[in-house]
């Protein structure tokens, strides 16, 4: 087997390829941590650089919007560049951006660095999401995809809290510098553990258009829009919901969110295991479960115990979202995983920003329960899209 050959259906995946999968997962972990790191450091940054907390919030909004644009544009610009070198380059950009952030004298330069972080996130995700099919044998793809997207849940459980704690114990510049050094170490891992990954087909506008015309991919992108917009419309305000609706004390919130993240890791691997057998049915189950939790929280979550229990169930359900939606994309476009993944990654990142914005408007103009019910409605619509796709694209219901 050459460095770029995919193992046959019956062949066992060599251990070296599992090390490569783990390294890609660490890349996703680092980038998700990098994207969300400023959330816990906004007050420190705003005070140090003399900007309002609202302005400091752009450190989170800007990378998400840039990532949405970068997801399709980076593979297009890369042409036939070996994807191994492209991933290494994107991690190098992320590392450099954080090292610059750690010494920046002003907020304008910090925002420029955050633009580069968004570029890294969108480009890396659009390529990494479809790498499982190139690194492992077909029977191992669901497990490999679960490992790669386990990096998302791990970042929420470990990366962001540790980064925030480091910033609190030292200062925000130290936290950003640590992310830069982590990126440099990861760069070495990608160089030594990833095989050569020549571009299978250059991503062009016509290729992206062709994938949009693919009914399975188009349905996956629409489902991603509904699911992720609904999730972040509601989840952005989970902390005030716990404190206001469930009367949970403020000092418990971080522990509850930790429980949410741990449950998310479990959900990721459970969904990865069952989603490979019937992806669309798994999306339906996740969507209905997630919508139900959001809908009943304002009604049944009136005590700390019930509210906390519902949020943990929320984490369990949402943990399976990334891996299941990505598996849907891979099965809908087995011969064009990179352009299809680019469309998916673009919509995913755009929907994060859109959901947070919509949620803020609803909370300000309507109420806190209303934002949970709106998120529930959008997520439930995802189930309808998946169920309809089972009927119009029957090949996606075949078990693997």
Determine the distance from the C-alpha atom of residue 122 to the mean position of all C-alpha atoms in its chain, rounded to a whole number.
10
Angle, helix 42-49 to helix 172-193, in steps of 10 degrees: 120
Higher-confidence residue: 149 or 317?
317
The CATH number of 205-397 is: 1.20.1250.20
4: confidence class by pLDDT, cuts 50, 70, 90 = very low
Residue of 107, 73, 110 lying closest to 90 (CA atoms) = 73
b/e code 29-57 from CB counts within 10 Å (16+ = b): bbbbbbbbbbebbbebbbebbebeeeebb
Determine the distance from the C-alpha atom of residue 135 to the mean position of all C-alpha atoms in its chain, rounded to a whole number.
20
Tens of pLDDT, residue by residue over 246-268, are 888 877 877 887 888 889 889 98
* Minimum mean pLDDT range among 188-192, 201-205, 288-292, 320-324: 201-205
Q: Specify the pLDDT at position 396.
A: 66
- The CA-to-CA distance between both ends of the chain, in Å, stands at 23
Q: Specify the pLDDT at position 399.
A: 52
For 80-142, give the DSSP string.
T--HHHHHHHHHHHHHHHHHHHHH-SSHHHHHHHHHHHHHHHHHHHHHHTTTHHHHS-GGGHH
Which part of the chain has CATH 1.20.1250.20? 15-193, 205-397
For 261-286, give the DSSP string.
HHHHHHHHHHHHHHHTT-HHHHHHHH
Tens of pLDDT, residue by residue over 70-108, are 988 888 888 888 889 999 999 999 999 999 999 999 999
**What CATH superfamily classification does 15-193 receive?**
MFS general substrate transporter like domains (1.20.1250.20)
**Alpha carbons within 13 A on the beta-carbon side of 210:** 11
Contacts of residue 215, Cβ cutoff 8 Å, sequence gap at least 6:
389, 392, 393
Model confidence, pTM: 0.82
Higher-confidence residue: 141 or 108?
108
394: confidence class by pLDDT, cuts 50, 70, 90 = low
List Cα–Cα distances, 299 to 271, 360, 376, in angstroms.
Answer: 28, 21, 13
């Amino acid at each position: 087997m050459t460095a770029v050959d995919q193992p046959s259906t019956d062949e066992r995946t060599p251990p070296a390829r599992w090390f490569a999968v783990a390294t890609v997962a660490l890349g996703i972990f680092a980038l998700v941590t990098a994207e969300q790191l400023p959330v816990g450091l906004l007050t420190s940054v705003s005070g140090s650089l003399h900007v309002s907390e609202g302005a400091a919030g752009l450190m989170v909004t800007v990378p998400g919007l840039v990532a949405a644009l970068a997801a399709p544009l980076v593979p297009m610009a890369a042409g036939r560049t070996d994807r191994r070198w492209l991933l290494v380059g994107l991690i190098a950009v992320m590392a450099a951006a954080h090292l610059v952030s750690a010494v920046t004298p002003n907020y304008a330069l910090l925002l420029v660095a955050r633009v580069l972080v968004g570029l890294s996130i969108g480009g890396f995700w659009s390529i990494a999401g479809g790498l499982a099919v190139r690194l492992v044998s077909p029977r191992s793809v669901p497990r490999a995809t679960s490992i790669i997207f386990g990096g998302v849940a791990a970042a929420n459980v470990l990366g962001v809290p540790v980064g925030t704690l480091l910033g609190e114990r030292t200062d925000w510049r130290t936290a950003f510098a640590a992310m830069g050094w982590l990126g440099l170490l990861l760069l070495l891992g990608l160089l030594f553990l990833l095989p050569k990954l020549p571009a299978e087909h250059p991503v062009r506008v016509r290729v992206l258009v062709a994938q949009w015309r693919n009914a399975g991919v188009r349905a996956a992108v629409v489902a991603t829009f509904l699911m992720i917009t609904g999730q972040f419309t509601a989840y952005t305000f989970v902390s005030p919901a716990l404190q206001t609706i469930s009367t949970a004390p403020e000092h418990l919130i971080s522990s509850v969110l930790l429980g949410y993240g741990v449950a998310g890791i479990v959900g990721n691997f459970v969904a990865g295991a069952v989603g490979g057998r019937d992806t669309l049915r798994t999306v339906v189950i996740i969507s209905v479960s997630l919508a139900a939790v959001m809908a009943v929280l304002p009604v049944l979550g009136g005590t700390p115990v019930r509210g906390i229990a519902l949020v943990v169930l929320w984490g369990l359900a949402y943990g399976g979202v990334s891996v299941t939606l990505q598996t849907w994309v891979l099965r809908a476009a087995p011969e064009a995983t990179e352009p299809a993944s680019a469309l998916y990654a673009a919509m995913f990142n755009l929907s994060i920003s859109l959901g947070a914005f919509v949620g803020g408007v609803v909370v300000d103009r309507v109420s806190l329960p209303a934002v949970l019910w709106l998120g529930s409605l959008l997520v439930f619509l995802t189930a309808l899209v998946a169920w309809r796709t089972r009927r119009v694209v029957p090949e996606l219901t075949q078990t693997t």
